[in-house]
């Protein structure tokens, strides 16, 4: 039986490329966009995937945001901007603009935290 040629359907073409940076799903607590707090599904040093109504966001749209990490009793906030990379029923993916040295340092320090001290914050803790 001959093998099928690769699919050229829109769904097959929309599959993301292999990731160049590892994804993290425990350290981030939330992302704040235009006054609304969204839960983060996972993040990397190049972007973030968050749960939201995708109809509220346009692909390639510029966006400003604040990432909120909870480490122990401390909330670390990182203000930044980027663009919406993709969206679907599962969530919205945002690609960061290039990170400053300070922002890179903050992300690295969050990654280095003892995993036992990192927890997801309640919404009340994040404001």
CATH of the domain at 71: 2.40.10.220
Q: Is the residue at 62 inside a domain?
A: yes
The total of structural domains in the chain comes to 1
55-91: b or e for each residue (b if 16 or more CB lie within 10 Å)?
Answer: eebeeeeebebebbbbbeeeebebebebbbbbbeeeb
- pLDDT tens for each residue of the chain, 127 residues long: 444 444 443 443 344 445 455 555 555 589 999 999 999 998 888 999 999 999 999 999 999 999 998 877 888 999 999 999 999 998 999 999 999 999 999 988 888 774 544 444 444 555 4
Q: Is the residue at 53 inside a domain?
A: yes
Whole-prediction pTM: 0.71
Q: Residue 119 belongs to what domain range? A: 21-126
């Amino acid at each position: 039986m001959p093998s099928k040629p690769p699919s050229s359907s829109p769904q097959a073409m929309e599959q993301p490329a292999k990731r160049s940076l590892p994804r993290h799903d425990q350290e981030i607590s939330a992302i704040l966009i235009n006054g609304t707090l969204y839960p983060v599904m996972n993040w990397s040093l190049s972007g973030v995937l968050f749960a939201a109504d995708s109809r509220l966001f346009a692909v390639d749209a510029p966006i400003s945001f604040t990432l909120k990490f909870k480490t122990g009793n401390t909330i670390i906030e990182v203000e930044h901007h980027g663009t919406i990379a993709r969206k679907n029923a599962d969530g919205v993916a945002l690609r960061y603009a290039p990170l400053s040295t300070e922002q890179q340092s903050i992300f690295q320090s969050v990654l280095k935290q003892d995993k036992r001290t990192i927890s997801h914050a309640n919404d009340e803790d994040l404001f």
